[in-house]
Structure 1
Amino acid sequence: MPYWRRTEMGQPAPRTNSPWLTIALLCIGQMMIVIDQNIVNVALPAVQKGLGFSEANLVWVVNAYVIPFGGLLLLAGRLGDLIGRKTVFLTGVALFGASSLLCGFAANESSLIAFRFVQGVGGAIASACILGMVATMFAEPRQQAQAIGAYSFASAGGGAVGPLLGGVLTQFLSWNWIFFINAPIGAVLVLAGLRSIPKDKGQGLGKGTDFLGAALVTAGMMLLVYTIVDAEKVGWASARTLLLLPLSLLLLVGFVVRQATVANPLLPLRLFRSRGLTAANIVQFMMIAGMFGLLFFGTLYVQRVLGYSPLQAGLGFVPIAVVIAGVSLGLSARLITRFGQRPMLYSGMALIVVAFLMLSFARVDGTYVVDFLPASLVMGLGFGLAAPAMMGLGMSAVTPEESGIASGLFNTTQQIGGAIGLTVLSAFVSSRTNSLTAAGENEAHALLGGYHVAFLLAAGFVLLALVIGAAMLRTGPRPAGAGQPEQNAVTDSTDVPVL
């Protein structure tokens, strides 16, 4: 249900809460979840030492979260449409906060891994509906663009802030606090959300309770995510990967067949008839596959080549978060309103390509100010322009009643794109680094040679996303004129947003 309505006399109903307060609460929830996905990496050595993790099991501190998170997003998004997005969001936040507290108190390997799995479930349930709620909060295009810009900042800014916060908490307190910090934030969000977030009724479980479809997509997505993250360790040609990958794809094919034949599908396939939604998801898949190259290999370059500590490396990502905040929260909405979503999407992706090309010239004896900072600023500008436009194009192509499943689809695409992108980039980096090492290069030069390959490949991913977007969206809606916003396919411009 949309978050606006008219009274019977045609006059807007009185507001009971500020819609921007709701946007703020949703964005805080999104940032908390995104930060948690990045904050753990910095603390892994401390976790290993504190709980006596074996090297083989340490990766499961990450994977135990990623697998349920990626596997449950579609189901959680659809549940938001059926039983109400507010209910699903607050349930997810409560579960995420409680399991975070348990993670902080974990006393051994098995308990931390188990609690991280539950935390991934809570994160998926909470985040699946956020974009759908944000995108349907306003009918007026400029306000909608501002709201989506705030969501984009929460997502990207959380990714940039995560390593810094992880370094600070681990260095000055302990690894436990990377989990403890979520508990009070989650509690405040739940209490404030119960009062401030408008309640939406949902369509009812009878409109789409496809239990078999839910089982197929959840099992298929979890197995696919597991196979991807596991392939980096055991190899794509290993017997386990060659068995599990086709099995996961078979489950997902079964899900698609089920959706094409069942009366009330979990994911209505008619959504993909929308060129905007389909193109936005493909573009996001390719763009996120490349962006993970900055967050992962950029951090490694600053630490392993330039010699920065984890805390210093985290501080090094603050400028990109500041730029993304400035562009997403202020500039992007005005530019989208004036020039339209597609030009901003293309311009932003072009800047991201330029930033990766700049990083491919980073030097072994370089400096942060010369070799990393300029590229990261260009990257922040590009992402701040591209992300709100991309999400706006996708979400404007669905009805408010289906915004939950569309939001879950966006999040799923992001998770799979990041996992596949990082795995592919890592494989090429390892190959290039090993080749240079065998040729007699020292460690720093060999590592940097691998990182150069990652940055060039990431540029290629985003460039391909730009080409695909331009091809698929060439017949999309254009701005009505200079200074006029694009019409939104989701809402009628006469609707009045009220809470």
Structure 2
Amino acid sequence: MSEALKAPRIAAPSGDANRWKALVFIALAQLMVVLDSTIVNIALPSAQKDLGISDGNRQWVVTAYALAFGGLLLFGGRIADKWGRRRAFLTGLTGFALASALGGLAVSGPMMFGARALQGVFGALLAPAALSLLAVMFTDAKERAKAFGIYGAIAGGGGAVGLILGGFLTEYLDWRWTFFVNVPFAVVAALGATLVIREPEGGRNRAPLDIPGVLLSTLGLVALVYGFTRAESNGWGDALTISMFVASAVLLLSFVLVESRVKAPLLPLRVVRDRNRGGIYLSLGLAIIGMFGLFLFLTYYLQIVQGYSPVKTGFAFLPMVAGMITGSTQIGARLMTRVRARFLMGPGFLVAGLGMLLLTQLEIGSSYTTLLLPAMVLLGLGMGTAFMPAMSLATTGVEPRDAGVASAMVNTSQQVGGAIGTALLNTIAASAKTSYLKDHIAGATTKPQQQLVGLQSMVHGYSTAIAFAVGILAVAALIAFTFVNAGRPGTTPVASGAGAEDEVPVPVVAH
């Protein structure tokens, strides 16, 4: 039986009114982290020109953040368990704000890259602390459903909000404001959190830090994320790309071996060995693969093929955001205490896949109203409905001493999924585009005809890659249906924190 189903029920912690106030500030901090993954992309061309960053080095504006964030998430989650989630949350907020200000003041490429890396470091502390705070503060079934409904909507729709905000700031102010905007977000969230967040007593992990686990997991995840990032720009056959994948495999396998034998592991294998959580981490990662590729392709399609401005492009994503909010707060949250998680996650991924399937019909002159709008609504509804119970169940039944690292695994699956999705789907799109050009360019004898074929090849590449994303979402739905076998997540109790702070995790011995 799943460990989540065996955990004893406890009463909700005191300070009921404060919990809901705290949710506002936790959600604000989460929005800041999520939108930062896309807001900078809109500003990148302007920043590159102002700072004199070469085409070869511009990827580091994105890569420096991704490597630090993805590589340090497990470490950040465990720090939250040891320090206390409130302290980790406030430290992450402060550091993220300072790093954002540094990015906005950047006068050179290296200064920008350093600021982005620092954002990733503090984001890796902030994100798991935010999710684990919700996990330990909201234990009542109905309250937990509402809280995770709001959190799931932000986690799913924040990227699209970043596109809108980034377009506005870049077009009407300056690219530097895509960094400066984080400062007021962080100040408000930090002040509010200081006043209202009261972390439940107990649940800290007092065990010594697993230094070998920290080093192996960080280096392994950095190598994995960098391998996929480099594959996008240098190809899958590149020697360094292959070396990164080999190094990642060796490091992560060594990490698992170490974690199975040390007394106080960084990532207790009991967290991921649970059937429900394992299925959730895997299905969420697969879903993000499709979502990240889609954001990228639709952004390019709307701006390059359809000629949308950055602001108009951002607003074009609003139906997806509305769908995610509706799916998460009105469908997922309302049904979470009534039906099993698999019957929300599986159908949710399938509805999102149906939206993706519509987008395989993209053409140069496709109508926004009749094709893109319904596709985006379906994508938003499906993802919002699936994400919400997934995030709740991924942290349900976890002992409080492990809440931070279990939350970090949710973020890690999303970050790795994003890196894989960007690299894999970009490669598929580029290959399909090249093949289409080779087959059709000979018939284009004039410059307008050649330009038309160029646009057609681009759209053909996007639709081909999106077709692969449909298949990936179908696999995510299958995993959700078959692996996630817990009861109604809202009725699944949360592990007690009584006495947990003085416990040392029982070592898991490999057999």
1:177-203 CA deviation, whole Å, 9 max, x = no partner?
000111121122112211111135665
Q: Is 1:346 aligned to 2:346, yes or no?
A: yes
Spell out the pairing of 1:30-45 with structure 2 (5 A cutoff). Answer: 30-45=30-45
- How far is 1:387 from its partner? 0.6
Cα distance in structure 2, aligned partners of 1:181 and 1:464: 38
**CA distance in structure 1 between the aligned counterparts of 2:211 and 2:13, rounded to whole angstroms:** 38
Could you say if the C-alpha distance between residues 354 and 488 of structure 1 is closer, same or farther in structure 2, counting changes exceeding 3 Å? same
Residue by residue, what CA displacement relative to the aligned partner does 1:50-103 show, whole Å, maximum 9, x if unpaired?
Answer: 111111111111111111000010011111111201111110110000110011
User: Aligned AA for 1:337?
Assistant: T
- Asked if structure 2 preserves the Cα contact closer than 8 Å seen for 1:82 and 1:203, the reply is no
Q: 1:87 to 1:174 in 2, by over 3 A?
A: same
Q: Which amino acid aligns with 1:490?
A: V
* 1:459 correspondence with 2:470: yes
Counterparts of 1:84-163 in structure 2, within 5 Å, are 84-163=84-163
Identity of aligned residues (%): 36
For each residue in 1:367-426, what CA deviation from the matched residue of structure 2 results, as whole angstroms up to 9, or x when unmatched? Answer: 211221110001111111111122223222422331111000110011001111221111
- Aligned partners of 1:123 and 1:260: how far apart in 2? 28
Distance 1:274 1:204, change over 3 A: closer
Shift of 1:13: 7.7
Partner residue in 1 for 2:458: 447
User: SS of the counterpart of 1:57?
Assistant: coil
1:245 corresponds to which letter in structure 2? F
What is the letter of the counterpart of residue 465 of structure 2?
A
2:379 corresponding residue in structure 1: 379
More deviation in 320-329 or 281-290? 320-329
Aligned letter for 1:453? T
**1:148, distance to aligned residue in structure 2 (A):** 1.1
What is the match of residue 497 of structure 1? none
Q: Distance in 2 between matches of 1:110 and 1:271?
A: 38
Q: Give the conservation status (yes or no) of the 8 Å contact 1:221–1:248.
A: yes
Q: Secondary structure at the match of 2:68?
A: helix
What corresponds to 1:281 in structure 2?
A: 281
Contact 2:283 2:479 in 1 (8 A): yes
Higher mean alpha-carbon deviation, 185-194 vs 93-102, is at: 185-194
CA shift in 2, pair 1:454/1:208, >3 Å:
farther
**Corresponding residue for 2:72?**
72
Give the count of matched residue pairs.
Answer: 478
CA distance in 2, matches of 1:489, 1:335: 17
- 2:259 is matched with 259
Q: Displacement, 1:18?
A: 2.0
1:491 CA displacement:
4.8
The match for 1:495 is: none
Query: Normalising by the residue count of structure 2, what TM-score does the alignment of the two structures yield?
Result: 0.90
Letter in 1 for 2:222: M
Cα distance in structure 1, aligned partners of 2:294 and 2:239: 31
Q: Which residue of 2 aligns with 1:20?
A: 20
Which sits farther off after the overlay, 163-172 or 296-305? 296-305
Contact 1:229/1:423 (8 A) holds in 2: yes
User: Hey, what's the Cα distance between the residues in 1 that align with 2:181 and 2:482?
Assistant: 44
TM-score (normalizing by structure 1): 0.92
User: Does 1:198 find its partner at 2:211?
Assistant: no
Using the alignment, how far apart are the partners of 2:279 and 2:463 within structure 1?
29
Deviations 1:94-113 (A, max 9, x none): 00001100110111111111
Q: Report the AA paired with residue 264 of structure 2.
A: N
Moved more, 376-385 or 229-238: 229-238
> Is residue 65–residue 117 contact of structure 1 (8 Å, CA) maintained in 2?
yes
- Secondary structure of the structure 2 residue equivalent to 1:207: coil
Other-structure match for 1:488: 492
Q: Is the 8 A contact 1:477 1:486 kept in 2?
A: no
AA aligned opposite 1:371: L
**Equivalent in the alignment of 1:231:** 231
1:288-334 Cα deviation digits (max 9, x unpaired):
11111221112122222222122111110112112212332233211
Corresponding position of 2:171: 171
Gaps of 5+ in 1: 7-11, 480-484, 493-499
- Give the Å deviation of 1:450: 0.6
What value does the CA root-mean-square deviation take over the aligned residues?
Answer: 1.9
Is the Cα contact below 8 Å between 2:346 and 2:476 reproduced in 1? no
Once the two structures are TM-superposed, the CA of residue 14 in structure 1 deviates from its matched residue by 5.8
For 1:424, give the aligned amino acid.
L
- Cα distance in 1 for partners of 2:245, 2:256 equals 17
Correspondence 1:42-53 to 2 at 5 A: 42-53=42-53
> How many angstroms apart in 1 are the aligned matches of 2:486 and 2:107?
56
Unaligned runs of 5+ in 2: 1-6, 442-452, 497-511
Contact 1:277–1:397 (CA<8 Å) still a contact in 2? no
| 1:327-370 deviation line (CA, Å, top 9, x unaligned) | 32233211222323221112211101100101111221122112
Q: Once the 2 structures are TM-superposed, how far is the Cα of residue 437 of structure 1 from its aligned partner?
A: 1.0
437-446 or 105-114, which moves further after superposition? 437-446
Moved over 6 A (4+): none
* Correspondence 1:181 to 2:181: yes
- Supply the distance in 2 between the matched residues of 1:477 and 1:59 (Cα, whole angstroms): 41
Letter in 1 for 2:403: S
Mapping of residues 217-228 of structure 1, within 5 Å = 217-228=217-228
2:81 maps to: 81
User: 1:205: Cα distance to partner?
Assistant: 6.1
Stretch moving more, 248-257 or 282-291:
248-257
Following superposition, the deviation at residue 427 of structure 1 comes to 0.6
Counterpart in 2 of 1:9? none
Q: Matched residues in 2 for 1:394 and 1:187: separation?
A: 29
Tell me how far apart the structure 2 counterparts of residues 178 and 200 of structure 1 sit (CA, whole Å).
35
Change in 2 beyond 3 A, CA 1:43/1:73:
same
